[in-house]
A and B are shown apart, each in its own frame.
Chain A
Amino acid sequence: MIAAVCIDDSCGLQFNHRRQSRDRVVTEDLLQSAKGHPLWIAPISQTLFPEERVSVATDFLEQAGEGDWCFVEDQPLLPVLSRLEAVVLYRWNRTYPADFYLDVIPWEAGWRLTSREEFPGHSHKLITKEVYLP
C-alpha cells in the first residue's frame, strides 16, 4: 500500500483530534495520483473527498491491498510498516500545534527520496510533495 500523509514542520498530523490543516489542491492532487487504484480513507476524512471516488472504512489500513492508496490522518503507520510500498508526504511548510505525529519518519528509517515537487495550494503559499520508497 501507498500511504499519503499531510504533515507540518514538526511531522505533526493532528491537534485535539482535528487535522492540522487542509487544502483542496492537495485533495485533488491525491485523487489524481491514485487514479486507477483504490483510495482508502477513514470516516474522519470523508468531508475532504467526493464519496464516489474513495473507499471508506475504519480499518482501511488492514483492508488495503498491494498498490492501493491510503490517506492517513489519525492512525499510526508502524503496525503496517512491512506492507508499506511508499510514503507520500504533503508538507504544509508551516508550524501548527500538534499532539499526534507521524510515526514512520522516512528519512530516519533510511528510506529513499525519489521525487519532490512544490506547488501553491488554495490556502497555503507553498506545499511540498515528497515520495519515499523503502
Chain B
Amino acid sequence: MKRTAISLCTLLFLLTLVLSGCPDPESGTTSLSFSLDDVPAFSDTPYVVLNDNQPDFPEEDRTTNSFESYSPLDALGRCGVAYANVGVDLMPTEDRGDIGQVKPTGWHTVKYDIVDGKYLYNRCHLIGYQLTGENANEENLITGTRYMNVDGMLPFENMVADYVQETENHVLYRVTPIFEGDNLVASGVQMEAWSVEDSGEGICFNVYCYNSQPGVTIDYATGESWLTEEGQPETEEADYVLNTSSKKFHLPDCSGVASMSESNRQDYTGSREELIAQGYSPCGICNP
C-alpha cells in the first residue's frame, strides 16, 4: 500500500545550482534549505520529498495574518521566490483571466503529440491562481512543462486550496524556482507548505517538482526542446499484470493488483504499446 516517493535512481544532480538571485522579500532568505545533491535525477515521478517533508518557515511568519509577496525579476528577467500565508481572503472569487500576454524567460510555443494538450510549456503559476488569485503577474509565472504544472504542482495546490476552503485556516506557502546558472528555464521548483492554526497537522510538505516532460529533452539554458531519441524506457519490454475482465494493465507492485481476482489476472511481459493495441488501457493508479 505504500508507494515509494523517491526514485531509487542513483544518478544525482551533481550540478551546482543557484537561485535566480532574487531575495525573498518576506523571509529574507536567498539560499536553498536543502542540498540539491540529494535530489535524484528525474526518472518517472513528478516530485520527490525533501527534508522528510518538513518545510522551513520562520517562526515570526506563523501568524493568522494573510499575506502574499513576489520577488522582483532578476537581471535576466527570471522569477524568484513567491511566498504567501494563504487564507480565504486571498482566494479568488472569479474565474481566471487571460495570461497569454506574459512571456516568461525561456518561453517557446511548441507542440508535441506525446504531451497532454500538445503544448510542451505552460505559463506556470508559482503560487496557483486558486490560492491567491494572481492572474497575469509576471513575477509569479515561469516557463513550466505541462507535466510539472499538472502532475507535479497542481496536486499540491489542490490539497492546500481545499484545506483552506474547508477549514478557513491559513497555510504558509512558498514556491522557489530553481535556475541553474544563467539558464532561462528553471530545472524545477521547491514547494513548501505548513498549516498555521493546527501547527501543520492538516498541511505539511516540502517537495521538489521536476520541470521535465517524459519523452522530451529540454535545453534549460534557452528553452529549446526536442523529442528524446528512440529507445526510451516506455517503448521497451517490461513486466505487467493484466486484468482480463476490466482490460486494464498494471505494474506488478500496483495496489490494484493485490485484490485482483485470480481468475482475471494474467502476467505479461512485453511493451505497453502492444497491450494498448490489444485493447488494454493503463491503470490510473500506477500509470504503467
Which residues of A are in contact with B by a Cβ distance under 8 Å?
8-11, 15-16, 18, 20-24, 76-78, 81, 92, 94-105, 107-110, 122-124
> Which residues of B in the span 3-48 have a Cβ within 8 Å of any Cβ on A?
3, 5, 47
Contact between A10 and B284, CB atoms less than 8 A apart:
yes
Contact between B155 and A16, CB atoms less than 8 A apart:
no
CB A11 to nearest CB in B, in angstroms, measures 5
Question: What residue of chain B has the Cβ atom nearest to residue A20's Cβ?
Answer: B159
Question: What residue of chain B has the Cβ atom nearest to residue A95's Cβ?
Answer: B155
Known: A77-B259, A101-B255. 4 other contacts (CB 8 A): A11-B284, A22-B163, A96-B158, A108-B257
Q: Out of A81, A97, A100, A105, which one reaches B285, CB within 8 Å?
A: A105
Question: What residue of chain A has the Cβ atom nearest to residue B54's Cβ?
Answer: A16
Which residues of B are in contact with A by a Cβ distance under 8 Å?
1-3, 5, 47, 49, 53, 154-156, 158-159, 162-163, 165-167, 201-205, 207, 243, 245-246, 248, 255-261, 264, 284-285
Q: Which residues of A contact B155 (CB under 8 A)?
A: 8, 95-98
Contact between B245 and A24, CB atoms less than 8 A apart:
no
Known: A100-B1, A104-B259. A15 touches B243 (CB 8 A): no
Question: What residue of chain B has the Cβ atom nearest to residue A122's Cβ?
Answer: B166
Q: Which residues of B contact A107 (CB under 8 A)?
A: 246
The 21 listed contacts between A and B (C-beta, < 8 Å) are A11-B255, A11-B285, A15-B159, A18-B204, A22-B163, A95-B154, A96-B158, A97-B159, A97-B205, A98-B155, A99-B5, A100-B1, A101-B285, A103-B1, A103-B255, A103-B258, A103-B259, A104-B258, A109-B259, A110-B245, A123-B163
Question: What residue of chain B has the Cβ atom nearest to residue A94's Cβ?
Answer: B158
Question: What residue of chain A has the Cβ atom nearest to residue B152's Cβ?
Answer: A97
